[in-house]
Homo-oligomer: A and B are copies of this chain.
Amino acid sequence: MKDFIIIGHKAVTTPFSLNDLPGAAGRMDILCRCVNAALFLSHDLRRDVRVFLVLKGEPQSKIVCFDGSKVRYLSPDERSAASLIKKALEKEAKEFWTDSTPGVSVRKGDLDILLALLNKKITYLREDGEDVRGRKFDQPLFVLGDHMGLTDEEEELIERYGNEKVSVGPISLHADHCIVLLHNEIDRKEYKT
């Protein structure tokens, strides 16, 4: 299983309009593109991937999970992922996971709880990290920030887990583009003949 965590610092935690993902929904468009990049192949889905979106907007932090092995009703467009996130936010979030639609679930919580639940070594995307090329990843957990990167507090939290910092290239890219590059590196090893 390959896990991706994307932190949406402004992403709202109540149902939102699908017509203004960048504005009123707090850059929800970034998270939707990350869902696409993590889960979609041409005419197929990556069944061995889970995406965890940490929504940190008002009124309280929530986590939404897309599980590639079970997800349904997901199309590649941003609005489709947004619609499933919205449905998850319509559910009452509790201290445990609640399914909203097939393969999508939601719970209360922030990055600290999610890292404790997953309990895995973390690969953290940073521009000053080691080059991703040639590295091997076994059951990886990647953590990526949104347009605001990660806060000092979040970095400190990550430091507490065994972690490594990797970089996907020489210039700073959007989180979804980084996910595409991470997958490609892993694909090249997994499909090597």
Residues of A within 8 A of B (CB): 18-19, 21-22, 29-30, 33, 36-37, 40-43, 75-80, 147, 168-174, 177, 180-181, 184, 187-188, 190-192
Contact = CB atoms under 8 A, between A and B. Distances in A.
Contacts of A170: 187-188, 190-192
A172 B43 contact: yes
Contacts of A36: 33
Contacts of A190: 170
Given A37-B177, A42-B147, A168-B184, 12 more contacts: A19-B19, A22-B80, A29-B78, A33-B76, A40-B174, A41-B171, A41-B172, A42-B174, A43-B147, A169-B188, A177-B180, A181-B181
B43 A75 contact: no
Contacts of A29: 76-79
A33 B40 CA distance: 13
Given A43-B172, A173-B42, A180-B181, A77 B75 contact: no
A131 B100 CA distance: 41
Contact of A171 (B78, B173, B187): B187
A191 to B, nearest CB: 4
Contact of A22 (B37, B41, B77, B173): B77
Closest 9 CB pairs of A and B: A170-B191, A29-B77, A42-B172, A180-B180, A177-B180, A78-B78, A169-B184, A22-B77, A169-B187
A162 to B, nearest CB: 27
A41 B188 CA distance: 24
Nearest to A184: B169
A78 B30 CA distance: 10
Contacts of A75: 22
26 contacts: A19-B19, A21-B77, A21-B79, A22-B76, A22-B77, A29-B76, A30-B76, A37-B177, A40-B174, A40-B177, A41-B171, A41-B172, A42-B172, A42-B174, A77-B78, A78-B78, A168-B184, A169-B191, A170-B187, A170-B188, A170-B191, A171-B187, A171-B191, A180-B181, A181-B181, A181-B184
